[in-house]
Amino acid sequence: MNLFDVYPLFDIVPEKAEGSWLWDKNGIKYLDLYGGHAVISVGHSHPYYVEKLEQQLHKISFYSNSIKITLQLDLAEKLGSLSGYPDYSLFLCNSGAEANENALKLASFHTGRKKIIAFSKSFHGRTSLAVAATDDPSILSPMNENSNVIFLPFNDESILEKHLTTEIGAVIIEGIQGVGGVNIPEKSFLHKLNELCKKNGIILILDEVQSGYGRSGKFFAHQHHEIKADIITIAKGMGNGFPVAGVLINPEIKAKHGMLGTTFGGNYLACAAAIAVLEIIKNEHLISNANVIGNYIVTEIRKHKLVKEVRGLGLMIGVEFDFPSAEIRNKLLFDHKIFTGSSSNKNTIRILPALNLKLEEADLFLTAFKSCLEDIKK
Ligand code: PLP
């Protein structure tokens, strides 16, 4: 059987990884500044994380959600406290797309409405929402044509009042747009959105799947703007590579047996991984590290004349050029052995390293980046 060929692949076969480093099958060492789309939050094979997963594997790895899994309570308690949402409830699932589907479903249960607002250049996973962060209409399925989703221009405050009416059930927005090229919502835009949601009984869903878990230098990116969401979705960095996701739910949205459900969500291994990640983030002060190292990288990159714009908060950084960024990205990977990410904005590369990236590792990247730009100027 062949693999269904939906991913463009680099011809690199990693065999082991540690911290921010990967080794391929030929022993070549790579600096990982992408973490497989922002998934690696506490570094590859972090010893505490490995130990906790191993211990759990020897105890019990799976049973269905028909029995009490106390690790889920432990996870909810730690997540509530570190995220600043201690009074919210947690629904555990397996991926970002699933978290968003459940969030939209909850919003429709709560409001009795089915229309949804999302924004241009957004990406919320391969859900029943269209993939807005694409210029390629051939990857939009015909299903999307019947969708109840209205896409509004991102960061355009002037049209919000007209569209956020009592017909709308939910607004979904990323804490920072990731796939779309690292675009930060403006404070006044988010505040207006929040105000209109409150006024018209609309559920505000913050998709923090990529921007959450300390990546932006706060636990959630929307916390830079002092707003509170009704529902927050999380995944990627939550399990440091173990598939686990969640939905944080405002206490005003009441649970009912059978309302949501999942087979694998909240299993023992997923919880052990997610708890270990939270403990490492807290004990090793990784949110503060994301701020310090992120600011340093942004400041240094801004000094280069070939760079059009650097956007980002913490260790979620987008670097935009006036030309397609593929050449720089390929040079970083093949000449300097550094992984970075692309985005749907062809001129922008994404830098999404582990939150414990060290200063000397950032310096290695900055030296390589400078050399790539010099090669391009020649
Ligand atoms: N939401 C955002 C903001 C994402 O960046 C992604 C994935 O890139 C998703 C949702 C979908 O997550 P998953 O691939 O785990 O379904």
pLDDT at residue 216, as a whole number: 98
pLDDT at residue 263, as a whole number: 96
Give the DSSP letter string of 83-126. HT-TTSEEEEESSHHHHHHHHHHHHHHHHS--EEEEETT----S
User: Is the separation of the CB atoms in 248 and 232 below 8 Å?
Assistant: yes
Return the residue whose CA atom lies nearest to atom 1 of ligand 1.
124
| pLDDT tens digits along 161-207 | 999 999 999 999 999 999 999 999 999 999 999 999 999 999 999 99
Instruction: Give the whole-angstrom CA distance, residue 248 versus residue 229.
Output: 9
pLDDT at residue 376, as a whole number: 86
**231 CA → ligand 1 middle, Å:** 16
**100 CA → ligand 1 middle, Å:** 9
Handedness of CA 276, 278, 283, 287 (dihedral sign): positive
pLDDT at residue 143, as a whole number: 67
Does the beta carbon of 124 lie inside 6 Å of ligand 1?
A: yes
Does the beta carbon of 357 lie inside 6 Å of ligand 1?
A: no
pLDDT at residue 254, as a whole number: 96
**AA identity, residue 221:** A
- 286-301 and 268-283 helices, crossing angle to 10°: 70
Residues of the chain under the 70 pLDDT cut? 135, 143-146
Q: Which domains does the chain have, with CATH numbers?
A: 49-251+260-283 (3.40.640.10)
pLDDT at residue 60, as a whole number: 93
Q: Strands across the sheet with 338-339, in order? A: 14-18, 21-24, 29-32, 338-339
Listed in sequence order, the residues at least 6 apart from 181 whose beta carbon sits closer than 8 Å to its beta carbon are 121, 311, 318, 320, 343, 344, 345, 348, 350
Return the residue whose CA atom lies nearest to atom 12 of ligand 1.
96
| pLDDT tens digits along 103-140 | 999 999 999 999 999 999 999 998 877 777 776 777 77
